Chains A and B, each alone.
Chain A
């Protein structure tokens, strides 16, 4: 190996070493994996708050936006906000008809329902990444910030991942539509936002008895062009339903959906 070769190798190694050292001396942060948690019937508020804080400051990724910085992307939660106090103090007054616990839960799983003034609707639903026990633990932690923790084991579903709400919808009437009867395409594409028989996501209008309200043609239009007619009471959700079902579903799948929905009376 000539001296030129040695110099080249040296330049390469020194350059690599410099980058490796620079990347090693700055603060080292490893991403956190949300740990599955489960609470027994005797869980205490303190245990819930502790678990919630761990998620809030770690794997939940909350502090990236809800920081104490004046220019933060989301409203401050753990400091006074516009003279209204910490989140635990002001949560009960945010939305009429919702108590603190209900509001916080909804703010986590359907964050765009109640956007705080002057903030963009950028928060993703927490239930896509976190389990129900994790979400309820965060609710408890946020309540504890200036307020009283009212979350109990009764609020938390036994099985992680099963969507629950503080005020669950009433059980379907006997003979009413059941999600189990829905075709695969409905369960794959629609159920995350639309409920049938009390099951499914609450983002869009429930599909129970939709066949009595809309004709087949109207149903087809609603699938292919969701913006054409917005269901009453769901104006805030306009734009959420993907407009490209005409591209991602086959004609057969669309017709399957139309037939199924038109049969829901």
Chain B
């Protein structure tokens, strides 16, 4: 990477700058003894202080998810490359680590922006939080150095340590990178979750100096948020990888490139959807802890003024399920033998659509008089029955199971099992799926006949049935596929373009969903900076309605995607500048100009970007 200033890279400067800024800003209220900062600074021009902080925080969070999610992806891919002896995975990991270098700068820039907006627009809140969390803020800033150093060693040492134990050590650096990133995220999560769920002993009269640090740090929603974000970051990283691959696929000039990026898109999507299936369980844990912490907060979130938000969320998740399955079903067309599953897809589509409708049916909503009159009561006479949790839990579990079935069809499409018990094994798989379906439906229906407190417990049985079935069926499938013969290789690269656009829809939806959930998590505090401890007395105290929130989320998503596109473009540009012989550069256009269309993945330009050339390295079916 070029552009070093005084021997330091932009990332190091950004991290150092942020560290100094945090330290200075934390020290400020302490140093200025006797001075109490005002609660609010002058309102931000045009959009107001709330929206300014909202956008900075959300875009920072999107980049943070990217730089935390992609290293997970990279380490998994590198491990497959090492132990699976499939070099293309190693190249895949490297390709994405390169993008991280630039993405770290963007994350630091937006983090710095957020910091200065908070300190200038909400000085009272910042002084309060920094007095409680000052120690963890110093650690947080210091960890940037470790994280940046580890990233540099990881990326720039790729060629140096590529064999034997050195390669394992290199992979260890990738693990370490993830460890630093996870600690950084956990620390930041403590600040925001404290605002959401401060310990019960903290009251409006409790001076921040009297708040016990660990009690505030490890507050009620800290660990649930940690787990939820960890999984969500993996989902997000996978979806970004898939979208990047889709972009490269659509721009590819050769069959080899198309094959490579088709495969990359499949891997990214597999990770995104695979981890996404676990996310509702983490969300359930988070929701339960919110209710445990404060019933009113939980009820506000699910049945109060935010109740309509979950209908929008259901719409988004419905789109995710449909797009993910659509991508897999189209993919069957390039797998020999995949056509035999085609007749089933229409039934699976029906399950997904019915599940979508049920999940998107509102129940506990705040309705006005006209709406009540139109429904004929507080609940719709027919749809009201579908809006309860029994129906919704049943719907989402059925959708998860259906998506898993799509993946299973994909895995099995071109395989001919040879183990003698293959037929029995397949039958067992079918029975497991059928029993799971019966369990889901049974508890879904039975839930209507028991009190709410019993009904809530049923969702656990449904979830366990689905998880057990997924694991058991997958293990069986791996065993059945041992030594299986092939009906033919997957024809990577023969994917219709429309499947790639489905990957873009998935990525945009995941990003928007992240913004929506950020609004939900933050918004349930309503008019409290710190729940029931520090009241928001500014003119922006009221949490806005969904329509306005949607506009802000869309703006955040656009900013993020525009910058990600720039980073992708920049990454390709750097590769070209390294690889194109000088005589091919048009002097009139500058050193970065290229001949031809300038696609970084053109064969011959970057051996690391066209791994599909070697037929021996073509992905095997079902990988």
Q: Which residues of A contact B551 (CB under 8 A)?
A: 20, 24
User: How many whole Å from A258's CB to the nearest CB in chain B?
Assistant: 18
Q: Which residues of B contact A124 (CB under 8 A)?
A: 294-296
- Assess the B505–A64 pair: CB atoms within 8 A: no
**0/1 per residue, A1-42, Cβ < 8 Å to B?**
010100110011001110110111111111111100000000
Q: Which residue of A lies closest to B537 (CB)?
A: A33
A129 at the interface (CB under 8 A from B): yes
Are A23 and B312 CB-contacts (below 8 A) given A30-B305, A61-B300, A192-B203?
yes
A152 at the interface (CB under 8 A from B): no
Report the stretch among B109-117, B118-126, B208-216, B438-446 that lies at the interface: B208-216
- Assess the A32–B542 pair: CB atoms within 8 A: yes
User: How many whole Å from B521's CB to the nearest CB in chain A?
Assistant: 14
- Assess the A19–B300 pair: CB atoms within 8 A: no
**0/1 per residue, B334-378, Cβ < 8 Å to A?**
000000000000000000000000000000111110010000001
A224 at the interface (CB under 8 A from B): no
- A:220-254 near B, CB below 8 Å: 242, 244, 247-249
- Assess the B545–A28 pair: CB atoms within 8 A: yes
B532 at the interface (CB under 8 A from A): yes
B250 at the interface (CB under 8 A from A): yes
- Assess the B215–A247 pair: CB atoms within 8 A: yes
In the bound assembly, the distance between CA atoms of A10 and B394 in angstroms comes to 35
- Assess the B378–A69 pair: CB atoms within 8 A: yes
- Assess the B504–A8 pair: CB atoms within 8 A: yes
Quick one: which of A19, A25, A73 contacts B512, CB cutoff 8 A? A19
Q: Which residues of A contact B536 (CB under 8 A)?
A: 33
B527 at the interface (CB under 8 A from A): yes
- Assess the B504–A11 pair: CB atoms within 8 A: yes
User: How many whole Å from A244's CB to the nearest CB in chain B?
Assistant: 8
Interface centre among A20, A65, A69, A124 (most CB of B within 10 A): A20
Interface centre among A12, A30, A71, A187 (most CB of B within 10 A): A12
Q: Which residues of B contact A30 (CB under 8 A)?
A: 305, 542-545
User: How many whole Å from A117's CB to the nearest CB in chain B?
Assistant: 13
Are A28 and B378 CB-contacts (below 8 A) given A123-B295, A242-B201, A247-B214?
no
B247 at the interface (CB under 8 A from A): yes
Q: Which residues of B contact A192 (CB under 8 A)?
A: 201, 203
B299 at the interface (CB under 8 A from A): yes
- Assess the A248–B312 pair: CB atoms within 8 A: no
- Assess the B207–A33 pair: CB atoms within 8 A: no
- Assess the B312–A22 pair: CB atoms within 8 A: yes
In the bound assembly, the distance between CA atoms of A184 and B523 in angstroms comes to 33
- Assess the A28–B547 pair: CB atoms within 8 A: yes
Report the stretch among B9-17, B58-66, B420-428, B553-561 that lies at the interface: B553-561
Q: Which residues of B contact A20 (CB under 8 A)?
A: 550-551, 553-554
- Assess the B312–A68 pair: CB atoms within 8 A: no
Q: Which residues of B contact A73 (CB under 8 A)?
A: 299, 452
Are A31 and B542 CB-contacts (below 8 A) given A7-B501, A64-B304?
yes
Q: Which residue of A lies closest to B315 (CB)?
A: A22
- B:175-234 near A, CB below 8 Å: 199-201, 203, 205-207, 210, 212, 214-215
In the bound assembly, the distance between CA atoms of A247 and B218 in angstroms comes to 12
User: How many whole Å from A240's CB to the nearest CB in chain B?
Assistant: 9
Q: Which residues of A contact B93 (CB under 8 A)?
A: none
- Assess the A24–B550 pair: CB atoms within 8 A: yes
A67 at the interface (CB under 8 A from B): yes
In the bound assembly, the distance between CA atoms of A27 and B367 in angstroms comes to 8
Q: Which residues of B contact A65 (CB under 8 A)?
A: 299, 303
B526 at the interface (CB under 8 A from A): yes
Q: Which residues of B contact A171 (CB under 8 A)?
A: none
Q: Which residues of B contact A25 (CB under 8 A)?
A: 547
In the bound assembly, the distance between CA atoms of A185 and B210 in angstroms comes to 8
- Assess the B504–A27 pair: CB atoms within 8 A: no
B546 at the interface (CB under 8 A from A): yes
Quick one: which of B212, B379, B523, B541 contacts A33, CB cutoff 8 A? B541
A122 at the interface (CB under 8 A from B): yes
A128 at the interface (CB under 8 A from B): yes
- Assess the A12–B504 pair: CB atoms within 8 A: yes
Q: Which residue of A lies closest to B201 (CB)?
A: A189
Q: Which residues of B contact A165 (CB under 8 A)?
A: none
User: How many whole Å from B504's CB to the nearest CB in chain A?
Assistant: 5
- Assess the A29–B296 pair: CB atoms within 8 A: no
A169 at the interface (CB under 8 A from B): no
- Assess the B545–A16 pair: CB atoms within 8 A: no
B509 at the interface (CB under 8 A from A): yes
In the bound assembly, the distance between CA atoms of A71 and B250 in angstroms comes to 53
In the bound assembly, the distance between CA atoms of A216 and B452 in angstroms comes to 45
Q: Which residues of B contact A184 (CB under 8 A)?
A: 210
A63 at the interface (CB under 8 A from B): yes
In the bound assembly, the distance between CA atoms of A122 and B545 in angstroms comes to 27
In the bound assembly, the distance between CA atoms of A61 and B368 in angstroms comes to 15
In the bound assembly, the distance between CA atoms of A185 and B251 in angstroms comes to 66
Q: Which residues of A contact B247 (CB under 8 A)?
A: 8
- Assess the A26–B210 pair: CB atoms within 8 A: no
- Assess the A28–B550 pair: CB atoms within 8 A: no
A175 at the interface (CB under 8 A from B): no
Q: Which residue of B lies closest to A68 (CB)?
A: B378
Q: Which residues of A contact B554 (CB under 8 A)?
A: 16-17, 19-20
- Assess the B299–A15 pair: CB atoms within 8 A: no
In the bound assembly, the distance between CA atoms of A129 and B304 in angstroms comes to 16
- Assess the B305–A27 pair: CB atoms within 8 A: no
- B:493-515 near A, CB below 8 Å: 501, 504-505, 508-509, 512
User: How many whole Å from B533's CB to the nearest CB in chain A?
Assistant: 9
Q: Which residues of A contact B316 (CB under 8 A)?
A: 19
In the bound assembly, the distance between CA atoms of A116 and B205 in angstroms comes to 32
- Assess the A188–B206 pair: CB atoms within 8 A: yes
Q: Which residues of A contact B303 (CB under 8 A)?
A: 64-65
In the bound assembly, the distance between CA atoms of A122 and B215 in angstroms comes to 23
Interface centre among A16, A123, A128 (most CB of B within 10 A): A16
User: How many whole Å from B372's CB to the nearest CB in chain A?
Assistant: 10
Quick one: which of B207, B214, B300, B379 contacts A64, CB cutoff 8 A? B300
B311 at the interface (CB under 8 A from A): yes
In the bound assembly, the distance between CA atoms of A120 and B316 in angstroms comes to 33
B453 at the interface (CB under 8 A from A): yes
User: How many whole Å from A128's CB to the nearest CB in chain B?
Assistant: 5
Interface centre among B305, B365, B543 (most CB of A within 10 A): B305
User: How many whole Å from A73's CB to the nearest CB in chain B?
Assistant: 7
Are A61 and B299 CB-contacts (below 8 A) given A124-B294, A188-B206?
yes
> Shortest 7 CB-CB distances between A and B: which pairs?
A23-B550, A24-B547, A28-B545, A31-B543, A122-B295, A248-B212, A33-B527
| A interface list, Cβ under 8 A from B | 2, 4, 7-8, 11-12, 15-17, 19-20, 22-34, 61, 63-65, 67-69, 71, 73, 120, 122-124, 128-129, 184-185, 187-189, 192, 242, 244, 247-249
Other CB < 8 Å A-B pairs besides A19-B512, A27-B367, A65-B303, 17 of them?
A: A15-B505, A19-B312, A19-B509, A20-B551, A20-B554, A25-B547, A26-B546, A27-B308, A33-B527, A61-B300, A61-B304, A67-B378, A69-B364, A69-B378, A122-B295, A242-B201, A247-B214
| B interface list, Cβ under 8 A from A | 199-201, 203, 205-207, 210, 212, 214-215, 247, 250-251, 294-296, 299-300, 303-305, 308, 311-312, 315-316, 364-368, 371, 378-379, 388, 452-453, 501, 504-505, 508-509, 512, 523, 526-527, 532, 536, 541-547, 549-551, 553-554, 557-558, 561
22 A-B pairs with C-beta separation under 8 A: A4-B251, A8-B247, A8-B250, A11-B501, A15-B504, A16-B558, A19-B316, A19-B554, A23-B546, A25-B547, A27-B371, A28-B547, A30-B305, A30-B543, A33-B527, A33-B536, A33-B542, A61-B299, A63-B366, A123-B296, A128-B532, A192-B201
